[in-house]
Amino acid sequence: MVGIGAGLGMEATSCGALLSELQQIWAEVGESEGEKNKVLSEIERECLQVYRRKVDDANQTRVQLHQSVATKEAEVASLIAALGEHKLYFKKDKCVVPLKEQLAAVVPLLEKLQGKKEERIKLFSGVQSQIEKIRSELSEYSTHDDSANSLVIDENDLSTRKLNSYQAELRALQKEKSDRLHKVLEYVNDVHCLCGVLGIDFGKTVNGIHPSLHQNGLEQSTNISNSTLENLARTISNLKAERKSRINKMRETMESLCQLWKLMDSTEEERKQFNKLMSVLISPEEGVTSPGVLSQETIEKVSPFFALFYSLLCSKIIFKILTAPYLNLSRRWKLRLSE
């Protein structure tokens, strides 16, 4: 019996002490060898079952650790590939390093990479959001939604190379936006000047192209789409054509008026009120910039003056014709008297 206990290796343990106590009890009781062997066999079988359970539990723990390490290393590998940060991770020799140490080593690295991924996603989101916003502003209709939920970010490629590509695209779009905005403002300024010269309602003119061109508030940014640029260019062309037509009409009127002044020997005081209009005669088209100088109202005001001077000229001519005989007779009498 002692041999069996020794075979189990229990003499130096608490189990061995219990076995010794059991043997003493058997000796006092006078238990048969067969019964003793039967009990010892049961004890051995039960011990083996306990060991097996412990081995199974330990094996399950090992499997779970293997799976956990493998899963986290797979996540690390995926994040490294997505971030393009291959220098961040150096794989250790699994044959030497215990599983718990492997797990303890990979968890901080995984957390670091996950944090880096979140930061990179924020960068991508910010850049892509700006790209979409500018694209919307450059498109025909500005319907950009500032919500980041509308963005689709490819989390499989968050590399700096990809980010640099987006940033380069953003810079190109920002330049295009700046160029277009500068062009739109230049066109709007031209329209404003032309409307001022022609006496046309500037607000109504640009509002017909796009309301944002005449809004001073911040609730809507200036529309810089191709359609707006094309309509502004077309409007400027039409206004310049109208300016040319009115300049020609005004020049014809003023030239005729100048001829009347010469015939009537008009004084400088009579001509002074037309000095502003006279500038139209000597200025190139682009130089005609005085507000209202070519307005319909101004043109309509000149016509009565022209008619008045023309009427006065006719009266003067008629007067000369009617008084000519008397003047001739008067000269003859003066000659006779002098003789």
Give the pLDDT score at 88. Answer: 58
- Number of domains present in the structure of the chain: 2
Please check whether residues 237 and 288 belong to one and the same domain.
Answer: yes
User: Are both 103 and 150 inside the same structural domain?
Assistant: yes
Alpha carbons 97 and 112: distance in angstroms, whole number:
21
Task: Using the 3D structure, point to which of 125, 158, 191 is the last residue of a domain.
Answer: 158
Residue at a domain's end among 143, 158, 173: 158
Residue 164 lies in a domain: no
Contact in structure between 243 and 294 (CB atoms under 8 Å): yes
Instruction: Tell whether pTM > 0.75.
Output: no
User: Residue 235: how many CA atoms within 13 Å on its side-chain side?
Assistant: 25
With a CB cutoff of 8 Å and minimum separation 6, the contacts of 277 are: 250, 254, 293, 298, 302
Is residue 22, in this structure, part of any structural domain at all? no
> Are 202 and 333 in a shared domain?
yes
One domain for residues 185 and 322: yes
124 and 209 both lie in a single domain: no
What is the Rg, in whole angstroms, of the alpha carbon atoms belonging to the chain?
53
- In eight-state DSSP terms, residue 44 is H
Question: 266-290 b/e with 16+ CB inside 10 Å = b?
Answer: beeeeeeebeebeebeeeeeeebee
Domain span at residue 247?
181-338
Q: What phi, psi does 273 have (nearest 5°)?
A: -65, -10
Tens-binned pLDDT, residue by residue, of the chain (339 aa)? 444 444 444 444 687 888 889 889 988 898 888 998 999 999 889 989 999 999 999 999 999 999 999 999 999 999 999 998 876 555 555 557 899 999 999 999 999 999 999 999 999 999 999 999 999 888 866 555 554 456 788 888 999 999 999 999 999 999 999 999 999 999 999 999 999 999 999 999 998 888 888 765 444 578 888 899 999 999 999 999 999 888 888 777 777 666 666 666 666 666 666 666 666 667 787 888 888 878 888 777 766 555 555 555 455 544 444 444 544 545 555 555 555
Residue 161 has a CB neighbour count (10 Å cut-off) of 8
Domain stops at, among 92, 124, 158: 158
Note whether residue 173 is domain-resident. no
What pLDDT is attached to residue 221?
75
Same domain, 140 and 201: no
Residue 315 inside a domain? The answer is: yes
If asked whether residues 238 and 321 sit together in one domain, one would say yes
Residue 222 falls inside a structural domain: yes
Other C-beta atoms lying within 10 Å of the C-beta of residue 164: 11
1 residue type, one letter: M
Measured between alpha carbons, how far is 261 from 313 in angstroms, rounded to an integer? 9
Instruction: Judge contact between 8 and 44, C-beta under 8 A.
Output: yes
Same domain, 153 and 84: yes
Shared-domain flag, residues 189 and 327: yes
pLDDT in the model for residue 326: 45
Other residues' Cβ atoms within 10 Å of the Cβ of residue 106:
21
88 with 54, same domain: the answer is yes
Using CA atoms, how far apart are residues 190 and 196, in angstroms rounded to an integer?
10
Cβ–Cβ < 8 Å for 70, 99: no
Is 18 within a domain? no
Calpha distance 193→208 (Å, rounded): 17
Same domain, 128 and 57: yes
Q: How far is CA 324 from CA 319, 327, 336, 337, in A?
A: 8, 5, 19, 20
Shared domain for 148 and 198, answered yes or no, is no
19 located within any domain: no
Q: Is residue 14 one of the residues assigned to a domain? A: no
